[in-house]
Chains A and B, each alone.
Chain A
Amino acid sequence: MHYLDHAATSPMTSPVINAMDAAFRVVGNPSSVHSAGRTARRLVEEAREAVAAAVGCHPAEVVFTSGGTEADNLAIKGLWLQQQARHPHRSRLLVSSVEHHAVLDSANWMAAGEGALLEQIPVDEFGVLRMDALSAMIERDPASVALISVMWANNEVGSLQPLAEVVALAAQYGIPVHSDAVQVIGAVPVDFRASGLAAMTVSAHKCGGPMGIGALVLQRDVTPIPVLHGGGQERDIRSGTIPMPLIVGMAAAFEGAVAELDSHCARISSLRDDLVARVLALEVGAALRGHPTRRLPGNAHFTFSGCEGDALLMLMDAGGVQVSTGSACSAGIPQASHVLLAMGLDAATARGALRFSLGRTSTMADVDAVVGLLPEVVERARKAGMINR
């Protein structure tokens, strides 16, 4: 079995499992005032400090959520609504055209239902944000921009975004910037304080932690309007019982991922480079997508001409290699990726996408398996052609 879909979710590490196993045995609601509550609270706050240390922010800036999607929703909806409340003329919402659906669909929803003026920032052929376009968009009327959201790195094609430039540009006009950093923890150094971001989304399960927990890192003076209403457990911004064992797991994952970042990146980027070189050398009609060098260390994304991604996926799966088409998939129904379309690919080419994402447990044996399997898989998938001929 060769698991090459770490960008979808990563295997939990032993330290995470052990920490959570111990935490599950602790009784107490972190919001209770008695000693049991205090015991649980202490574990949460220690974990908050560990997460803060891992991403370079103050512990008070960490607002735990149920994961990346909730954090993105809170950032897009909550920050736009807050801006509207304070500055009614700030109604433009600028998001990159290659955002995860958690950002894109939140933004679309705000445009459809709340009057946000949504503009998508175009990307180049590598999926990298076009700064010239963003600059022109802002300069058209800087005082009307409520929020900019640009992901740290793209989840499908792996390209790193010019976030420092985005923040520097936005800062000239006092525009807050949110970034979805779900894919980058443990993959690139993240320093929230140095980044100048107003808000940043992180998630535990992409770097060895459990599913169902993430955080919106928020500068202390940034207070989005809540999306979930209730007990106000997290800074009165996020309600819901604080899931202590998940938070403990997230902290253990972030600590481990950041501690091993350099060695991990060196190892998997070398494996990935090997994978890319050998796949291209097969000459099976593969084209590497995303930026050739400035990309996530574990990401290799290709399109295979004349093939349907879901056919490739199924045949790879049957051969024991687990990969992804890299596209959104609600009912299990594959569609051409909005990311690839935004990069200028035609729909037919985009439908031939396959994403290999390497992680902590990846080895050369995984790469060998891919390279061994691909020629026959591509040949068969190409023969099957496109499903909607």
Chain B
Amino acid sequence: MKVLAAMSGGVDSAVAAARIADAGHEVTGMHLALSNNPQSFRSGARGCCSLEDSRDARRAADIIGIPFYVWDLAEQFRRDVVEDFVAEYAAGRTPNPCLRCNERIKFAAVLDRALALGFDAVATGHYARVLVGPQGVEMHRALDPSKDQSYVLGVLEQWQLEKSLFPLGDSLKREVREEADRRGLTVARKPDSHDICFIADGDTAGWLEERLGEQRGEIVDAVSGEVLGEHQGAYRFTVGQRRGTGLSVPAADGAPRYVTSIEPSTRRVFVGPPTLLDVNVIDGMKAHWCQGLPTAGQTVGVQVRAHGTEVAATVVAVDDADVTLRTHEPIRGLAAGQAAVMYEGSRVIGAVTVAGSRRDS
């Protein structure tokens, strides 16, 4: 096969490319340039689009012995990921930009383009497994639970999975690093990336403020309705957040206060006791189904954040676009905009964007 290996400059994508090449495929390395000004994004070892990362990716390709190119996706990334991120926060939601990047860039723009140019598949260093099942291609959690990235890939549908290779799905991170070292890849000891690649210093609130400006509003007690204080922008808050409200007055019972909800239209941020954060009904929209829809009444696992734990849930209602889930135990602090990925065992059923959630006992 002709395989396009997306190479971020990190250890995972380098080993993934090397494994595909070893398997006898004709591999081309491709670094995706996602910033108009490469130096403005996170520099050094932690991001995915700095000049240094581009060089690291190139050196890995040299050592593997595959051709290497850079694709400029800065404009599309800005439009589909960065602006979407800002707009979501402005609307009081909490988006996952990595998931959006996979949905709109890596497994859409890049995959489309690769297929048109004559490649048969795209390989990445994501930790997830693609298996062939009775209904077609299935995506499963990775073998290494601490690295599993099936959550951020939950938006991939059949046609995308059929053309995607995840050579690291059966490996432990430790093994991947050891293999990189054995192969002489200089990125073997490069630290993992964690934070949002386009926010250089990790200060998401400050970054958003530069783009959205100061938008003062009230901090309101979710139980009593009393105005407790003022904030400089609702986008600085996410449901479930405890720190950063700047409230000096403790709650009546002395319990810590959490952000329980955000009302973008009035710029009001509600705070309250953690029990208010517990929800057990999730309304999801914009569904991506990997193979087919689950059935009403079916028990599934649901995960609502990248490194969150999975909880059991019953499908209450479902159609092509939407799903309502009732979890068997409460989920604490679920913000609109987060993705909820549904599993059956280790298999991904699909992903939805959280439209709303509530407590329903």
Q: Which residues of A contact B (CB under 8 A)?
A: 310-311, 313-315, 317-318, 331-335, 380-381, 383-385, 387-389
Residues in A with CB closer than 8 Å to B75 are: 388
Kindly supply a per-residue 1/0 record for chain B positions 15-35, scoring 1 wherever the CB is within 8 Å of any chain A CB and 0 otherwise.
000000000000010010100
B159 within 8 A of A: no
Assess the B117–A332 pair: CB atoms within 8 A: no
A332 interface neighbour in B28, B31, B67, B118, Cβ under 8 Å: B31
B72 within 8 A of A: yes
Residues in A with CB closer than 8 Å to B58 are: 332
Kindly supply a per-residue 1/0 record for chain B positions 59-88, scoring 1 wherever the CB is within 8 Å of any chain A CB and 0 otherwise.
000000001011111111000000000000
**How far does the Cβ of A321 sit from chain B's closest Cβ, in whole Å?**
13
Assess the A311–B113 pair: CB atoms within 8 A: yes
Tell whether A334 pairs with B72 under 8 Å between CB atoms, given A317-B67, A318-B28, A387-B109: yes
Residues in B with CB closer than 8 Å to A310 are: 69, 71-72
**How far does the Cβ of B109 sit from chain A's closest Cβ, in whole Å?**
7
**How far does the Cβ of A375 sit from chain B's closest Cβ, in whole Å?**
13
Assess the A333–B72 pair: CB atoms within 8 A: yes
- C-alpha spacing A381/B28, complex, angstroms: 16
Tell whether A387 pairs with B76 under 8 Å between CB atoms, given A318-B28, A380-B116, A380-B118: yes
A388 interface neighbour in B67, B76, B117, Cβ under 8 Å: B76
**How far does the Cβ of B198 sit from chain A's closest Cβ, in whole Å?**
16
B313 within 8 A of A: no
- C-alpha spacing A336/B158, complex, angstroms: 35
Name 18 interchain pairs, CB-CB below 8 A, sorted by A: A310-B72, A311-B117, A313-B69, A314-B67, A315-B117, A332-B70, A333-B38, A333-B74, A380-B116, A381-B117, A383-B116, A384-B117, A385-B116, A387-B73, A387-B76, A387-B109, A388-B75, A389-B76
Residues in A with CB closer than 8 Å to B109 are: 387, 389
Q: Is the interface of A mostly helix, strand, loop or mixed?
A: helix
B8 within 8 A of A: no
B279 within 8 A of A: no
Q: Return the chain B residue nearest A382 by Cβ.
A: B116
Interface centre among A310, A314, A335 (most CB of B within 10 A): A314
- C-alpha spacing A313/B72, complex, angstroms: 14
Assess the A387–B113 pair: CB atoms within 8 A: yes
- C-alpha spacing A66/B57, complex, angstroms: 29
Residues in B with CB closer than 8 Å to A333 are: 33, 38, 70, 72, 74
- C-alpha spacing A225/B72, complex, angstroms: 39
B299 within 8 A of A: no
Interface centre among B31, B71, B76 (most CB of A within 10 A): B71
Residues in B with CB closer than 8 Å to A383 are: 116-117
B282 within 8 A of A: no
Q: Which residues of B contact A (CB under 8 A)?
A: 28, 31, 33, 38, 51, 54, 58, 67, 69-76, 109, 112-113, 116-118
- C-alpha spacing A380/B118, complex, angstroms: 7
- C-alpha spacing A82/B315, complex, angstroms: 79
**How far does the Cβ of B279 sit from chain A's closest Cβ, in whole Å?**
39
B69 interface neighbour in A314, A380, A384, A385, Cβ under 8 Å: A314
**How far does the Cβ of B304 sit from chain A's closest Cβ, in whole Å?**
32
- C-alpha spacing A352/B70, complex, angstroms: 16
**How far does the Cβ of B229 sit from chain A's closest Cβ, in whole Å?**
44
Residues in A with CB closer than 8 Å to B54 are: 331-332
**How far does the Cβ of A245 sit from chain B's closest Cβ, in whole Å?**
27
Residues in B with CB closer than 8 Å to A389 are: 76, 109
Assess the A331–B38 pair: CB atoms within 8 A: yes
Residues in B with CB closer than 8 Å to A311 are: 113, 117
Tell whether A384 pairs with B51 under 8 Å between CB atoms, given A310-B72, A317-B67, A331-B33: no
- C-alpha spacing A389/B108, complex, angstroms: 12
**How far does the Cβ of B164 sit from chain A's closest Cβ, in whole Å?**
18
Assess the A332–B73 pair: CB atoms within 8 A: no
- C-alpha spacing A317/B66, complex, angstroms: 12
- C-alpha spacing A331/B69, complex, angstroms: 11
Residues in A with CB closer than 8 Å to B118 are: 315, 380
Residues in A with CB closer than 8 Å to B74 are: 333
- C-alpha spacing A133/B259, complex, angstroms: 64
**How far does the Cβ of A318 sit from chain B's closest Cβ, in whole Å?**
7
Residues in A with CB closer than 8 Å to B116 are: 380, 383-385
Q: Return the chain A residue nearest B2 by Cβ.
A: A318
**How far does the Cβ of A19 sit from chain B's closest Cβ, in whole Å?**
31
- C-alpha spacing A279/B69, complex, angstroms: 25
Residues in A with CB closer than 8 Å to B28 are: 314, 318
B67 interface neighbour in A318, A380, A381, A385, Cβ under 8 Å: A318
Assess the B117–A314 pair: CB atoms within 8 A: yes
8 tightest Cβ-Cβ pairs between the two chains A and B: A384-B116, A332-B70, A383-B116, A388-B75, A384-B113, A333-B72, A333-B33, A384-B117
- C-alpha spacing A385/B115, complex, angstroms: 12
A387-B73, A388-B72, A388-B76 known; 17 other A-B pairs, CB under 8 Å? Answer: A313-B69, A314-B67, A332-B31, A332-B33, A332-B54, A333-B33, A333-B72, A333-B74, A334-B72, A380-B117, A384-B113, A385-B116, A387-B76, A387-B109, A388-B75, A389-B76, A389-B109
Residues in B with CB closer than 8 Å to A384 are: 112-113, 116-117
Residues in B with CB closer than 8 Å to A385 are: 113, 116
**How far does the Cβ of A270 sit from chain B's closest Cβ, in whole Å?**
32
- C-alpha spacing A331/B9, complex, angstroms: 14
- C-alpha spacing A387/B73, complex, angstroms: 7
**How far does the Cβ of B35 sit from chain A's closest Cβ, in whole Å?**
9
B72 interface neighbour in A315, A380, A381, A387, Cβ under 8 Å: A387
Residues in A with CB closer than 8 Å to B51 are: 331
Residues in A with CB closer than 8 Å to B31 are: 332
Assess the A388–B113 pair: CB atoms within 8 A: no
- C-alpha spacing A318/B69, complex, angstroms: 11
**How far does the Cβ of A346 sit from chain B's closest Cβ, in whole Å?**
15
Tell whether A388 pairs with B71 under 8 Å between CB atoms, given A315-B117, A333-B38: no
Residues in B with CB closer than 8 Å to A334 are: 72
Tell whether A331 pairs with B70 under 8 Å between CB atoms, given A314-B28, A387-B76: yes
**How far does the Cβ of B340 sit from chain A's closest Cβ, in whole Å?**
30
Residues in B with CB closer than 8 Å to A380 are: 116-118
Q: Return the chain B residue nearest A332 by Cβ.
A: B70
**How far does the Cβ of B142 sit from chain A's closest Cβ, in whole Å?**
30
**How far does the Cβ of B125 sit from chain A's closest Cβ, in whole Å?**
20
- C-alpha spacing A381/B38, complex, angstroms: 25
Assess the A387–B70 pair: CB atoms within 8 A: no
Q: Return the chain A residue nearest B72 by Cβ.
A: A333
